[in-house]
Structure 1
Amino acid sequence: MDVGSITRLNVRPVFNWTGFLAYSEKTPSPLESSGQRSPRRDKSPSNLGPTPQGATVPKLVYDFAEGNKSMKQLLGGKGANLAEMTNLGLPVPPGFTITADACKVFLKTGSVPPELADEIDHHVAELEQKMGKKLGQADDPLLVSVRSGAAVSMPGMMETVLNVGLNDDSVNGLAHHSGNPRFAWDAYRRLIQMFGKTVLGMEGDIFEDAIEAAKQAKGTKNDLDLDADDLKALVQTFKAAVHEHTGREFPQDPRAQMDLAIEAVFGSWNSERAILYRRQERIATDLGTAVNICSMVFGNLGMDSGTGVAFTRDPSSGQPGVYGDYLQNAQGEDVVAGIRNTVPLADLEQIDKASYDELMTIMAKLEGHYRDLCDIEFTVERGKLWMLQTRVGKRTAGAAFRIATSLVDEGVIDTDEALRRVKGAQLAQLMFPRFDGDAATDLLTKAIGASPGAASGKVVFTSAAAVEAADRGEKVILVRRETNPDDLHGMIAAQGILTSRGGKTSHAAVVARGMGKTCVCGADELEVDVAARSIKVNGRTIAEGDMISIDGTTGQVFLGEVPVVPSPVVQYFEGTLAADAGDELVAAVDRLITHADETRRLDVRTNADTAEDAARARRFGAQGIGLCRTEHMFLGERREAVERLILADSAEESDAALAVLEPLQRKDFLELLDAMDGLPVTIRLIDPPLHEFLPPLTELAVKVALAKERGEDPGRDALLLTAVERLHEQNPMLGLRGVRLGLVIPGLFKMQVRAIASAAAELKKAGKDPRPEIMIPLVAAVQELQFSRDEVEAVLTEVAAAEGVEWSTPIGTMIELPRAAVTAEQIAEAAEFFSFGTNDLTQMTWGFSRDDVEGSFFSTYLEKGIFAVSPFESIDREGVGALVKMGAERGRTTRPDLKLGICGEHGGDPDSIHFFHEAGLDYVSCSPFRIPVARLEAGRAALD
């Protein structure tokens, strides 16, 4: 059997049965397809001793008792935490973990490491000895689960296969030994179903349709009503489907099942949904996944058994208490898949008090040990509690802030650690609007608020429809009975998710919380008919395309679009809601943002061009303006004055046009400096090409041509066309703009500086403290900057003398060209500050225009993994970031007190802020709404 029979890197693992032979004890394991080893060995793994050359081969397999929680990169989060629970003495089924290193080899070469087979043999033998039974033993089989486990939690994105080891013989032994034939045949049909989807690449609907047909024949809608004979018949149906769709029989050799499942889990690292999830969550692409082989315990042995998911605190609100879901007579996948509605975890106390009490003790122990909210998966097998997984649980943004501050109050962590545990992206979520509770609404139903937020959109029933609608710019709500990992595309595209099944631990809830998406689950009053593209609820029908609104906090579902109001967190930042007004979330945000301000080294400024934006940014905590784009002041009604400047044929005409613009500019700067009184205001002189202020070339050419064709005088349009043709450039980004405009058009920069200086003088006379900083854009050579600086200084001196006031006005430049970064030590001779314009620096470094490429090939680059995230969204550390560091270091060799900032959009990106802190910059500048995010992340960066 060739290991290449499982597609490694395609959208999903697909099994190719070409050349497949019936498995027997003489058939090599797929893990040994190179042909050197047999699958059964009674010797220690080859990697536990030195090689002939004396080197030690790294271990690829660890028993649960050998690891600990610090080994996540090697054992994955699941394996490391199973090891930790084992070492804590908790009831964990025995098993072992295959490391992520083995996966990396598989992904790189298409084959598992040659020594892996012997190591697995060794650990399987040890596991068999512990359990007193052998894998697939006919009379009492050892069954195992094969589960993925990456270093970073990726819920539902990779593969799992349960009940590995069952075959046509051992299913009878399991039935006899358990005394429950229904359970045995249910376990076998689950194995074939999971194996078929995960390993063989069969469509899940093939199996689901067969189950539905069996229930219809039985006259029931409940899986539990299918008896042993029904399930035995389903097994035969499933096996026939395997043969029909693959051309071969379902493999009967237990070890072959295990080996093929391991390879499928490795391959699922590069499944389409896993790649998409990593891109969404910015998870590194080269981590690989570990594989956990765990002896099976069964929650589907009867009503004295069951499975559940528990949280040590509410992952939605952060409140302490008993939170989770439990499902009797079920396996774990039934809970997280949301295919059956669960009961609240608290009900377990009445169902099985002994297991409940033990679980509460364990939960308290785990939260104390991990010092955080823990997410726990467990199974009860005939009254015996087993722990299957724990991890630091995903939570909503609000819960993150509440839990962090609560743990400080409880003395579990300090405030530094609390700040580390919240993120700027979570704070941004808390600033989104919420539904207006006073607005008239049409309530359809109320279910489980699984992930907070307010979302309105058109109803869609498939992920494909959600993506298509989002591409058209429409907002949608994805409505499903339950979601599964293949719905990830649609969940990302939708404003929110609504399901009729499942609870706070279902796939929809867990993934939505991780992405910050609004989600309502378990709306069992909804009859979702995907085929008819409609929902029925309380006698009403909602069709695809109808507008609904969902509240992920209350669980309410409304017909139509519900008005929204600012969130309490925004009201707090605006100053209209006090931190001590009784809102717990606002109080938590206040504590941590205050601590971030006390901790951070980076200042946070804003990008603002109007007094209104400046005032709001100041309320949000901005410490000045890092970028005022003066070209934005020349739009609208002022465009005609700019046109006259461009069309000027003489110095007199040019001066006249500038004379019109100067008082308008003066008024702009007066308002801006007043709004930021006492704080620095960096004003960038005009930057873009002048043709941007003129009508498009094609539009003018058509107008002029049509006028001439009608025998009319095109008038001003002809003059504009001549100017546009004269100024037209093949690549304006690399043309006449920035400092070049100031050098080529006499008086342009002087007019702006005079307006700045006279505005500052007026405020100074009024007893205020204006602090303008003049930034000269797009400098590539110190000579350009020095020439412009001389002109600027001359104007400043002239205005100060005329007005009879003095003030200090730093003059600096924007570093947005690679040459500027490389020659920064020269440019610093004429600059008192650098502001890195990372938007243009990214374009210049990568050699593409943002406007052109984001709509053309960026999506392809992201899909192929060339970009994990757009370099315009988060700083390219290796390329653009290296230039920023170089410019900072070289500039300060010339001028040690050189002020360094960044004013591109990266200034509001959490990951980029950490980089700018590391690079030694003094401040970041971002849009007003991002100010709180930047403040928080700057504090976190200082702690790192």
Structure 2
Amino acid sequence: MPYTYAFDHKHRRPPMELKDLLGGKGANLAEMTSVLGLPVPPGFTISTDACRAYLEGGWPEGLDAEIARQVRKLEKAMGKRLGDAADPLLVSVRSGAKFSMPGMMDTVLNLGLNDESVKGLADQTSDERFAYDSYRRFISMYGRIVLGLDGKLFDAPFEEAKQRSGVESDAEVGADVLRELAESYKRVVADSTGQPFPQDPADQLRGAIEAVFGSWNGARAVAYRVRERIPHDLGTAVNVQAMVFGNRDDNSGTGVGFTRDPASGAQGEYGDFLVNAQGEDVVAGIRNTLPLSALRDRFPAIFKELMGIFARLEEHYRDMCDTEFTIEQGKLWMLQTRVGKRTGRAALRMAVDMTKQRGWKITREEAVGRVAADHLDQVLHPQFAEKPAQLLTKGLAASPGAAVGKAYFSADDAAAAAEQGEAVILVTSETSPEDVHGMIASQGILTSRGGLVSHAAVVARGWGKPAVVGAEAVRISGRSFTVGGTTVHEGDVISLDGGSGEVALGEVRLTLADPPEEFTTILKWADQIRKGRLAVRANADNGPDAANARQFGAEGIGLCRTEHMFLADDRLPIVRRMILADTPAEEEAALEELRVAQKADFVAILEAMDNLPVTVRLLDPPLHEFLPSTEELELKKATKGLTKQEERLLAAAQSWHEFNPMLGTRGVRLGVIKPGLYAMQVRALMQAAVERLEAGGKPRVEVMIPLTVTRQELGLARGWVADTVAEVVGDLPKRVANKLDVLIGTMVETPRAAVRADEIAEEADFFSFGTNDLTQMTFGFSRDDVEGRMMSAYLEQGLLKRNPFETIDQGGVGQLVADAVEGGRATRPGLKLGVCGEHGGDPESIDFFYRVGLDYVSCSPYRVPIARLAAAQAVIANP
């Protein structure tokens, strides 16, 4: 297989389907060139295969020869030679991974310029200013990206040159000053590296390609992939493309355009452009841009042509497209297209609208597939609940949602403050890819410069983080900013609304957003698709949570954690009395108090979930969790002394102390030691069910025994449950008792239970996989310890592809689940199977659970809409 492909290469499949090989950018450049016939500057793609080979063993053998052939072909197409002193060909070198990673990897423009070719460019264009502007840009970009120099070494001289010239705009700097700057930049390179700036275009090209390959493993790219769950082993393609120049003159320009508004989903032109500029000027946010609609007045013919291309792209890709374009002396060139990133509100609107599109349309299944979990999350983002008391300014509404936090002025400071538990707003002139770690850590982002397609805006929208950009009234100075007469210092609280662009001083009360009607439409379609295939339940421990879950569309409760009912201020003393009981009578009295309290909780839950299944897990955690810390009590004993009650609590805590309590006396093991505890819980649950029956309700009860590892354990516990159920319903009229169908099952959360599921199923009506503990025990990870200490290092170094506590480890933990499904149903074909770990709300995990044959997933109430969507997408993906 070759390593390089020209944009007009005739592939056997549509190039847009070859993103694994060509990367997203290369695949779409080839599609626009060879399929759509759009005006695309010619070029070639160096494949992801070459990048992977380079990262594994250095520069691939034979790649030099392939690149040389492609360069000769490109020179022939353009009628120019790379580095020619009379009429030079210049190229751009851009990254392009399979998945869009905006701004996370590197780009080099104007490659091919040197001390001789810059003169040829000036002669050919009769524009010395343009030639030296291009050269100083190239030296700066090459110095930063390929040679690894600090950008400030180039930025400071340029700002000084503008001040000396008495101009504010980059475009106003004269040719003589730009020539001097190019010489100054070359001295910076020589002084910093000990080597002169490279003059041979072949060396320049090799260096740029290696820099793009290397940027795949750059800190910002790795952090972005971890955040976006993009595999680290894909590599990036590299696109080498003939340069066209938006900075030729005032009849030239560059821009970024979307075929629909990526913030709202509305049809119509949307984007930014600049006259007499190169593409990096637009996305970097260094210059404030003009809206794309202004192109109609400045370049009416170009505007008409661009709108025609937008329509063709949308019809071809059957989706909203994001484009980059350049106008060179009145001619339009398309530099890139891709399916565009969008906000949640826009995604929902576009998905529904495109099922009714004139001329072409998508199916409801395609519409459901277009919406991501993050999109649903975003439309539930908070907003300002009230008018700010002190509105500082209003910028561009770049990414919806409201945020409150303390202002920090660098990515490092923001990340450090967030690690200390502070809510943070990152405030900066503009963001760059180097700021990605601070952006991840922040609740919201505020920039004083940049447009709606600046780095800050694009990344924030993709992540669903509130952002306000281009707030020109914000004057940043060190660790503070001023607006008018108000100064905000580092650590001061500010609030921002990325839907309105408002920035306020102090904390503004927030309220949940009101989802658009398309939210309901998409979820309705999702429910129709998954009906009878994969149900969605919620994890809820009280009546209000259960009611909330039902409102979000939950079809029952998959996990009711009864221990949460014991932790309330009025319950904890009763639990402690039970633990401290010296006689059976004292213990029985305490249990009776708990029964009364638990019954009321169960009534509320069963009422909220009437006629839907409710799975109640009997007490799971070890009893020490209900007791004070031994360390605190011993310290108090040594310093102030303990009361008699505290002495008893200390003795009990010492008695129940275990070196590894999560693998100790908990779950069914606790029931073996204190069978009265489980009997009390079942009695309270069944009495609540009877009360609901008598009130005309339809309770559907499932009792779950936690942490069983053998058939004998479950058989014993099932006997306790069955006896208590019979005791409660035995006196009921038969017609009433027959309405109460109780299932008894277990939580599969240990490797042994999964491996011996065939035996355990003999005593179970259902299994619910507790994938949190199953993951801990399979990996030997203590979640509370490894997630804070080592998980980020493992993800960044590729030792784990995913955090296994967020997305199911399919090859290990997932295999145990699959084996348990097979074993359990071999014994009991009608065995009901679900999952109640946090993986039940993760779309990638839900797809896996559907494929292995689970009947339902269960997650937190606020994840229920996401799980409904993901369940439908799993059904679509696995017909």
For the aligned pair, the TM-score class normalised by the smaller chain equals over 0.9
2:857 corresponds to: 924
Secondary structure, aligned partner of 2:167? coil
* 2:492 maps to 1:546: yes
1:48 corresponds to: none
Query: What TM-score, normalized by structure 1, do the two folds share?
Result: 0.90
Question: Equivalent of 1:181, from 105, 128, 151?
Answer: 128
Question: Equivalent of 1:568, from 496, 514, 521?
Answer: 514
Distance in structure 1 (CA, Å) of the matches to 2:269 and 2:37: 23
**Cα shift readout 1:550-608 (whole Å, capped 9, x = no counterpart):** 22122222222222222112xxxxxxxxxxxxxxxx22111110000111121111111
1:620 corresponds to: 552
Kindly state the Cα deviation for residue 937 of structure 1 after the two structures are TM-superposed. 1.4
Secondary structure, aligned partner of 1:767? coil
**Cα shift readout 1:690-717 (whole Å, capped 9, x = no counterpart):** 1111111112223344566xxxx85232
Distance in structure 2 (CA, Å) of the matches to 1:841 and 1:80: 41
- Note if contact 2:349-2:518 (Cα within 8 Å) is conserved in structure 1: yes
Distance in structure 1 (CA, Å) of the matches to 2:298 and 2:548: 55
- Note if contact 1:450-1:552 (Cα within 8 Å) is conserved in structure 2: yes
Q: Percent sequence identity over matched residues?
A: 57
Distance in structure 2 (CA, Å) of the matches to 1:685 and 1:208: 65
**Cα shift readout 1:378-409 (whole Å, capped 9, x = no counterpart):** 11111111110011111111111111111111
* 2:550 maps to 1:607: no
1:223 corresponds to: 170
2:274 is matched by which residue type in structure 1?
L
Secondary structure, aligned partner of 2:362? coil
* 2:83 maps to 1:136: yes
* 2:182 maps to 1:250: no
- Note if contact 2:411-2:426 (Cα within 8 Å) is conserved in structure 1: yes
Kindly state the Cα deviation for residue 517 of structure 1 after the two structures are TM-superposed. 1.2
Question: Equivalent of 1:420, from 335, 357, 369?
Answer: 369
**Cα shift readout 1:618-649 (whole Å, capped 9, x = no counterpart):** 11111111111111112222222222222233
- Note if contact 1:824-1:891 (Cα within 8 Å) is conserved in structure 2: yes
2:693 corresponds to: 764
1:721 corresponds to: 650
**Cα shift readout 1:748-783 (whole Å, capped 9, x = no counterpart):** 211111111222122222322111111000001111
Distance in structure 1 (CA, Å) of the matches to 2:315 and 2:661: 60
Kindly state the Cα deviation for residue 747 of structure 1 after the two structures are TM-superposed. 1.4
* 2:491 maps to 1:558: no
1:763-782 aligned at under 5 Å gives the runs 763-782=692-711
2:755 corresponds to: 822
Distance in structure 2 (CA, Å) of the matches to 1:862 and 1:78: 26
Distance in structure 2 (CA, Å) of the matches to 1:157 and 1:184: 28
- Note if contact 1:92-1:388 (Cα within 8 Å) is conserved in structure 2: yes
* 2:678 maps to 1:749: yes
Gaps of 5+ in 1: 1-57, 570-585
Distance in structure 1 (CA, Å) of the matches to 2:486 and 2:541: 50
**Cα shift readout 1:212-242 (whole Å, capped 9, x = no counterpart):** 1211222223212211110110011110000
**Cα shift readout 1:145-198 (whole Å, capped 9, x = no counterpart):** 111000100011101111111110110000000100011011111111111011
Secondary structure, aligned partner of 1:299? coil
Distance in structure 2 (CA, Å) of the matches to 1:481 and 1:738: 54
2:482 is matched by which residue type in structure 1?
K
Kindly state the Cα deviation for residue 440 of structure 1 after the two structures are TM-superposed. 4.5
1:299-318 aligned at under 5 Å gives the runs 299-318=246-265
* 2:5 maps to 1:62: yes
2:528 corresponds to: 598
* 2:577 maps to 1:631: no
**Cα shift readout 1:214-271 (whole Å, capped 9, x = no counterpart):** 1122222321221111011001111000011100000100011001100110000000
**Cα shift readout 1:348-402 (whole Å, capped 9, x = no counterpart):** 2222222222111111111111111111101111111111001111111111111
Distance in structure 2 (CA, Å) of the matches to 1:211 and 1:497: 27
Secondary structure, aligned partner of 2:795? helix
Distance in structure 2 (CA, Å) of the matches to 1:494 and 1:211: 31
1:504 corresponds to: 452
- Note if contact 2:768-2:836 (Cα within 8 Å) is conserved in structure 1: yes
2:63 corresponds to: 116
Secondary structure, aligned partner of 1:378? strand
**Cα shift readout 1:299-357 (whole Å, capped 9, x = no counterpart):** 11110111111111011111011111111111111111111111111222222222222
Secondary structure, aligned partner of 1:606? strand
Distance in structure 1 (CA, Å) of the matches to 2:546 and 2:279: 53
Distance in structure 2 (CA, Å) of the matches to 1:299 and 1:234: 20
Question: Equivalent of 1:298, from 245, 256, 263?
Answer: 245
Distance in structure 2 (CA, Å) of the matches to 1:173 and 1:423: 51
1:726 to 1:546, Cα distance in 2 relative to 1, 3 A: closer
Secondary structure, aligned partner of 2:730? helix
Distance in structure 2 (CA, Å) of the matches to 1:705 and 1:141: 84
1:412 to 1:308, Cα distance in 2 relative to 1, 3 A: same
- Note if contact 2:426-2:438 (Cα within 8 Å) is conserved in structure 1: yes
- Note if contact 2:374-2:463 (Cα within 8 Å) is conserved in structure 1: no
* 2:39 maps to 1:91: yes
2:559 is matched by which residue type in structure 1?
L
Secondary structure, aligned partner of 1:810? strand
1:750 is matched by which residue type in structure 2?
A
Question: Equivalent of 2:786, from 853, 857, 860?
Answer: 853
1:65-464 aligned at under 5 Å gives the runs 65-66=8-9, 67=11, 68-87=15-34, 88-109=36-57, 111-410=58-357, 411-436=360-385, 438-464=386-412
- Note if contact 1:707-1:714 (Cα within 8 Å) is conserved in structure 2: no
* 2:476 maps to 1:528: yes
Distance in structure 1 (CA, Å) of the matches to 2:351 and 2:192: 51
Distance in structure 2 (CA, Å) of the matches to 1:622 and 1:344: 43
- Note if contact 1:425-1:910 (Cα within 8 Å) is conserved in structure 2: no
- Note if contact 2:296-2:303 (Cα within 8 Å) is conserved in structure 1: yes
Kindly state the Cα deviation for residue 812 of structure 1 after the two structures are TM-superposed. 0.1
* 2:670 maps to 1:737: no
2:654 is matched by which residue type in structure 1?
E
- Note if contact 2:378-2:400 (Cα within 8 Å) is conserved in structure 1: no
1:647 to 1:547, Cα distance in 2 relative to 1, 3 A: closer
1:414 is matched by which residue type in structure 2?
T
Distance in structure 1 (CA, Å) of the matches to 2:781 and 2:620: 19
- Note if contact 1:439-1:563 (Cα within 8 Å) is conserved in structure 2: no
1:634 is matched by which residue type in structure 2?
F
Deviates more, 1:720-729 or 1:823-832: 720-729
2:428 is matched by which residue type in structure 1?
R
Indicate the RMSD between aligned Cα atoms, in angstroms: 1.5
* 2:844 maps to 1:911: yes
Kindly state the Cα deviation for residue 868 of structure 1 after the two structures are TM-superposed. 4.1
Distance in structure 1 (CA, Å) of the matches to 2:299 and 2:597: 77
* 2:733 maps to 1:786: no
- Note if contact 2:92-2:107 (Cα within 8 Å) is conserved in structure 1: yes
Deviates more, 1:99-108 or 1:919-928: 919-928
**Cα shift readout 1:674-698 (whole Å, capped 9, x = no counterpart):** 2212111111111111111111111
1:541 is matched by which residue type in structure 2?
T
- Note if contact 1:313-1:323 (Cα within 8 Å) is conserved in structure 2: yes
Deviates more, 1:100-109 or 1:438-447: 438-447
**Cα shift readout 1:655-684 (whole Å, capped 9, x = no counterpart):** 233223222222222222222121111111
1:99 to 1:758, Cα distance in 2 relative to 1, 3 A: same
Gaps of 5+ in 2: none
- Note if contact 1:339-1:502 (Cα within 8 Å) is conserved in structure 2: yes
1:490 to 1:706, Cα distance in 2 relative to 1, 3 A: closer
